Amino acid sequence: MISRLTVKTTGQGLYDFSNELNGIVMDAGIDQGLCTIMVQHTSASLVIQENADPSVQTDLVSWFNQLVPEGDSHYTHVQEGPDDMPAHIKSALTTTSLSIPVMDGKLALGVWQAIYLWEHRRIGSSRSMVVHISS
């Protein structure tokens, strides 16, 4: 089964869409299998991260902004704004697809895990993803 999922963002940060993805898995009606998701953008990424303490997400965004700062004189891709090239680098350093096992009809995430779309741009956007569920 292949479906689409959209997450609306309002700027840099991690956006939890675990519940929406679990809904798609449940609708697939499989007990065991694999859920693969891919974001169709080059300035956003996907991560599995802690869902209990929001300071983890704040620290990740802050750390990545220090690691890949805006305004680096080495950037040549600057026509889409000062946050665009750093967003591409951040996406390349993380991942644009994830594969999560399905057990007992739901995603086999740990107690403290959630699936996040990581928006690397300062402006909001609608981020499209493709979900493939196989048994």
Q: Which of 117, 128, 130 is nearest to 6 (CA)?
A: 128
Domains of the chain: 2-134 (2.60.120.460)
User: What pLDDT was estimated at residue 128?
Assistant: 98
Quote the DSSP letter at residue 57: H
0.85 surpassed by pTM: yes
Phi, psi of 127 (to 5 degrees): -105, 125
* pLDDT, mean of residues 104-116: 97
User: What pLDDT was estimated at residue 111?
Assistant: 95
> pLDDT tens for residues 54-88?
999 999 999 999 999 999 999 999 999 999 999 99
Q: Identity (one letter) of the amino acid at 14?
A: L
User: What pLDDT was estimated at residue 85?
Assistant: 97
52 confidence band (pLDDT: 50, 70, 90)? very high
User: What pLDDT was estimated at residue 10?
Assistant: 98
